[in-house]
Structure 1
């Protein structure tokens, strides 16, 4: 196995969109049972092998409640990855994505890899009429803003591994691009 890479990843979004459930499923690989609301932040590491490299994800689960925003936004700093959650059945949580994006862009690394994550896919699979906004519209918004998109169910585990792989792939791409930018010779110009 080759070298290792380590990335700070933040989980953000409104309360009750599934951040803590994802955190439990991703770290412990168990089905979450009524997780409590996060107060402030929780932290854990997850190691995975990606293309024969050991990758460590330092995952920070942030509180979605407005009253903790000043505490949680400090943890956005130096984040290379952000998973921005919304509830596929709750239009308000989708509409609030833009507010969360402002916070991410305001505090995280400039080249942060952002994945918009629609959670509660199990509910939508059972009843399509519960979907609050058409998938195509969300995908177009992500394309327009150069964001990645995934739909998951923290309850059933559907899409979790694919989401983690999508995130890691883009973290690695960003790392390579950042290294290449730093290695470019600077042009000295005199006018």
Structure 2
């Protein structure tokens, strides 16, 4: 296995959109029951193997409450990845994505990988009328702003592995893009 890569990834979004549930599933392999609201910030690491390389995600679960905004915004600094969560059954949390985006863009590096995450897919799958944001609308918003989009259920685990794979794939691609050409590993090719 080749050298390791490590990335700081922040979880952002309003309260009760599933950031802590994702955090528990991704870092501790715990199926969340009734997670408590995050006060300030929590941190844990997750290691995965991607293309024979060990990748460490340093995941920061930030509070979604307005009263912790100044504390959480500081954690956006030096982040290579940001997952902005919203609740598929709550239009307000979707509309508030733009505020979270502004905060991340103000504090994080320009090359930060941002993925918009629609959570609570389990509720929508059970009753389509609960969906407040049509899939096509969310996809188009992300396309217009050059963002990635994924829908998951932190309750059932649906889409979580795909989200992590998409995140790592894009982090690794950005890392290669940001390495000066003379320092990139040479590709052997046959003609």
- Regarding TM over 0.5, the answer is yes
Q: Compute the TM-score of the two structures, normalised by the length of structure 1.
A: 0.94
Q: CA deviation at 1:180?
A: 3.4
Unaligned runs of 5+ in 1: 184-191
Q: Distance in 2 between matches of 1:114 and 1:74?
A: 17
Unaligned runs of 5+ in 2: 184-191
1:116–1:182 distance in 2 versus 1, CA, 3 Å: farther
Q: CA deviation at 1:28?
A: 1.2
Secondary structure at the counterpart of residue 76 of structure 1:
coil
Q: Compute the TM-score of the two structures, normalised by the length of structure 2.
A: 0.94
Structure 1 segment 33-48 matched on structure 2, within 5 A? 33-48=33-48
Q: Which shows bigger deviation, 78-87 or 22-31?
A: 22-31
Task: Find the counterpart in structure 2 of residue 72 from structure 1.
Answer: 72
Task: Find the counterpart in structure 2 of residue 127 from structure 1.
Answer: 127
Q: List structure 1 segments (4+ residues) > 3 angstroms apart after TM superposition.
A: 180-183
Number of residue pairs the alignment of both structures matches: 184
C-alpha RMSD of matched pairs (Å): 1.3
Matched, 1:9 2:20: no
Q: Which shows bigger deviation, 142-151 or 172-181?
A: 172-181
Task: Find the counterpart in structure 1 of residue 51 from structure 2.
Answer: 51
Task: Find the counterpart in structure 2 of residue 187 from structure 1.
Answer: none
Secondary structure at the counterpart of residue 54 of structure 2:
strand
Q: CA deviation at 1:33?
A: 1.3
